[in-house]
Structure 1
Amino acid sequence: MVRTSPPSTWMQGLDLPSQLFGDAGGSDYELYEEDDEFVLTIDMPGFETDEIDLAWDDGILNVAAEHSDESRGRKKTYHRRFRFPKVIDDEEIAAEYTNGVLEVRLPTADSTTQGKEIPLEG
């Protein structure tokens, strides 16, 4: 029989991973696929349009933002990377920032190649 001791009182009620690492931001965005495109919406209140940088690089969307409030001595930053499992038509990516919500539309590219047939000898 393996006996476990109860956690000490100073550890009770702590969810250590979320306390140490935070929620990992899982609730600040929504990503779904509709009509041959991915739609990504991110809650980013408090930023101005010119403070948000979007970059596309080989299947990864990088979203970064920085806002400085010098009168209060505060700085707010956001940074997240999103990897997409399908080929994206990077010429048609569109983004809009309205009322604190960033929406990025990433159309999937027409991929005629779905793999390669391998001949079998024998």
Structure 2
Amino acid sequence: MATLVRNFAPVFPAVLGSFLNDFERVAPAHTHSFPAVNVIESEEAFKIELAAPGLKKEDFKVNVHENILTISTEKKEESTETVGKYTRKEFNFSTFKRSFTLPKTVDSEKIVATYNDGILGLELPKKEEAKPKEPRLIEIA
């Protein structure tokens, strides 16, 4: 299988290893995490549950464009503490973005989002033609 990213570490182990060690001393590694997501399908709809505690519903941006559902958030916090001639300012910035390709069976005009107890819930109803139909008895003439 071809990949877009190649690993050159085996070719240049000494050079790359030295560079990475120096880089980690200057810029420590940061871990990026994304909220856990559950996707549940029923006969009537898909449901997405995204765990994002500590946020408010105003922090989220949810949109659909060209059959791609995107959930993102951007939260900035700033605090300032002044004691005598000493001032300490702290900034915190957190963000994430998750995108999902919607199946053609989803009616994107009727998507509903809620946020309760740290869980962002999205209800993605299926189009009428995608829902299972009851069997119909056809009488023989």
Pairwise TM-score range, normalised by the shorter structure? 0.5 to 0.7
Q: Shift of the alpha carbon at 1:28?
A: 0.5
**Aligned to 2:58, what secondary structure does the other structure show?**
helix
**Aligned to 2:128, what secondary structure does the other structure show?**
coil
Q: Shift of the alpha carbon at 1:99?
A: 1.5
Does the CA contact (< 8 Å) of 1:47 and 1:66 recur in 2? no
Choose which of 35, 42, 48 in structure 2 pairs with 1:34: 42
4+ runs deviating over 3 angstroms: 22-25
The yes-or-no answer on 1:78 pairing with 2:86 is no
**2:61 corresponding residue in structure 1:** 53
Q: Shift of the alpha carbon at 1:104?
A: 0.2
- Ranges in structure 2 where 5+ consecutive residues have no aligned partner: 1-28, 80-89, 131-141
**2:119 corresponding residue in structure 1:** 101
How many Å separate the matches in 1 of 2:74 and 2:129?
36
Matched residue count: 92
TM-score by length of 2: 0.57
Q: Shift of the alpha carbon at 1:46?
A: 2.1
Q: Shift of the alpha carbon at 1:107?
A: 0.4
Q: Deviations over 1:60-87 (max 9, x none)?
A: 1100101111114101111010112232
Q: Which amino acid aligns with 1:109?
A: K
The yes-or-no answer on 1:67 pairing with 2:85 is no
Does the CA contact (< 8 Å) of 1:59 and 1:87 recur in 2? no
- Ranges in structure 1 where 5+ consecutive residues have no aligned partner: 1-19, 113-122
Aligned-pair identity (%): 25
Q: Shift of the alpha carbon at 1:105?
A: 0.4
The correspondence of residues 14-33 of structure 1 with structure 2, limited to 5 A, is: 25=34, 28-33=36-41
More helix by share: 2
Q: Which has the larger radius of gyration?
A: 2
Q: Shift of the alpha carbon at 1:88?
A: 1.6
How many Å separate the matches in 2 of 1:58 and 1:111?
20
